[in-house]
Amino acid sequence: MITTVPTYIILIKWTQTGIETVKDAPQRIERAHETLKSVGGELKALYFTFGRYDMVSLVEAPSDEAIAKAVLTIGRWGAASLETLKAFPEKDGVELIMGLP
């Protein structure tokens, strides 16, 4: 039985507004921490990246509904577009596979 806290990977791309106001990014990141905390979640890690995405974050939240609420709230700020992936730890993924009929 899978018992880990739901984990999500969020892929983030700056919008034109986000680039134009990039110096406000530290405050937006702090607001993201607060927003996730308000739904019972936590921003575990945030990485600035090169390539297709500008940032990647690792987030824990109590449910899909909670992460959806947080991501929609953050997305409304208009500074970034977000793509959310539900992640399973290796142990849980293997357990899931082993349980296949």
- At 40, which amino acid appears? G
Between the two ends of the chain, the Cα-to-Cα distance in Å is 16
- As to burial, measured by CB atoms within 10 angstroms (0-12 exposed, 13-18 middle, 19+ buried), residue 85 is exposed
pTM over 0.85: yes
The pLDDT of 47-61, averaged and rounded, is 98
Q: Which position has the higher pLDDT, 5 or 73? A: 73
pLDDT tens track for 13-45 = 999 999 999 999 999 999 999 999 999 999 999
The pLDDT of 58-67, averaged and rounded, is 97
Q: How far apart are CA 14 and CA 7, in angstroms?
A: 23
How is the chain split into domains, by residue range? Answer: 7-98
The pLDDT of 77-81, averaged and rounded, is 97
Position 59 pLDDT exceeds 80: yes
Q: What is the CATH number of domain 7-98?
A: 3.30.70.920
Neighbours of 29 (CB within 10 A): 14
Q: How far apart are CA 55 and CA 11, in angstroms?
A: 6
